[in-house]
Amino acid sequence: MKSILFIDTGIEYGGGTKSLLYLLDELNKKNEYKITVFFENNYDTKEGKILDVIKNRNIDILYCEKNKFKMSKFKREICRIFCKRLIKQEKYKNDLKFANDLLSKNKFDFIHLNNHFSTNLAYIQAANNLNIKVIQHLRKNAPLDKTEINILKNLKFKAISVSNSTYKFYSKYLKFENKVIYDPVCIKEGIESRKNDNEISIIMPANFLELKGHDLVFDAMLNLKRDDLKLYIAGSGEFKKQTKEKLEKLIEKNLVINLGFVKNMDEIYPKFDYLLGFSENEGLPRVVIEALGYGLGVIFSNIDVMGELYEISSKKEDFHIINRTAKDLFVFLSKLKKSKSHKRDIAIINTFKLENYIESILSFYKDCE
Assigned domain for 191 exists: no
Tell me: pLDDT of 195 over 60.
Answer: no
Phi and psi dihedrals of 110, rounded to 5? -135, 155
Assigned domain for 194 exists: no
Structurally, how many domains does the chain consist of? 2
Q: How far apart are CA 288 and CA 306, in angstroms?
A: 9
Residues 223 and 123 in one domain: no
Residues 33 and 180 in one domain: yes
How does the average pLDDT of the chain come out, rounded? 90
Residues 211 and 179 in one domain: no
Q: Which helix H or strand E contains 96, and what residues bound it? A: helix 84-104
User: Any idea what DSSP says for residue 98?
Assistant: H
Residues 277 and 167 in one domain: no
221: left (phi over 0), alpha (psi -120 to 50) or beta: alpha
What is the pLDDT, as a whole number, of residue 74? 52
Residues 158 and 235 in one domain: no
Assigned domain for 25 exists: yes
Q: Which residue has the higher pLDDT, 18 or 65?
A: 18
Residues 113 and 219 in one domain: no
Residue type for 92, please? Y
List CB contacts of 313: < 8 A, sequence separation 6 or more.
Answer: 292, 319, 345, 347, 348
Assigned domain for 192 exists: no
CATH number at residue 105: 3.40.50.2000
What is the pLDDT, as a whole number, of residue 67? 64
Assess contact for 303 and 362: CB atoms under 8 A: no
Assigned domain for 193 exists: no
Instruction: Give the distance from CA 61 to its chain's centroid.
Output: 22
Residues 172 and 226 in one domain: no
**pLDDT, tens digit (0-9, with 9 covering 90-100), for 304-346:** 999 999 999 999 999 999 999 999 999 999 999 988 788 999 9
Residues 178 and 247 in one domain: no
Assess contact for 133 and 103: CB atoms under 8 A: no
Domain that holds residue 74: 3-184+353-368
Residues 180 and 222 in one domain: no
What is the pLDDT, as a whole number, of residue 55? 93
Residues 127 and 218 in one domain: no
Q: How far apart are CA 35 and CA 55, in angstroms?
A: 13
**Dihedral, 368, 27, 162, 270 alpha carbons, nearest 10:** 170
Phi and psi dihedrals of 197, rounded to 5? -75, -15
List CB contacts of 354: < 8 A, sequence separation 6 or more.
Answer: 22, 26, 184, 185, 186
Q: How far apart are CA 355 and CA 247, in angstroms?
A: 41
**pLDDT, tens digit (0-9, with 9 covering 90-100), for 227-267:** 899 999 999 889 999 999 999 999 999 999 999 988 888 88
Tell me: pLDDT of 77 over 80.
Answer: no
Tell me: pLDDT of 71 over 90.
Answer: no
* b/e per residue 75-86 (b: at least 16 CB within 10 A): eeeebeeeeeee
Tell me: pLDDT of 73 over 70.
Answer: no
Q: Which helix H or strand E contains 166, and what residues bound it? A: helix 164-171
Return the closest-CA partner of residue 132 out of 102, 87, 92, 161. Answer: 102
What is the pLDDT, as a whole number, of residue 90? 76
Rounded percentage of the chain residues whose pLDDT exceeds 90: 70
Q: How far apart are CA 246 and CA 258, in angstroms?
A: 13
Looking at the chain, how many residues does it have? 369
Assess contact for 247 and 218: CB atoms under 8 A: yes
Residues 336 and 361 in one domain: no
48: left (phi over 0), alpha (psi -120 to 50) or beta: left
What is the pLDDT, as a whole number, of residue 263? 82
Assigned domain for 262 exists: yes
Tell me: pLDDT of 88 over 70.
Answer: yes
Residues 164 and 296 in one domain: no
pLDDT band, very low/low/confident/very high, at 3 (cuts 50, 70, 90): very high
Assigned domain for 172 exists: yes
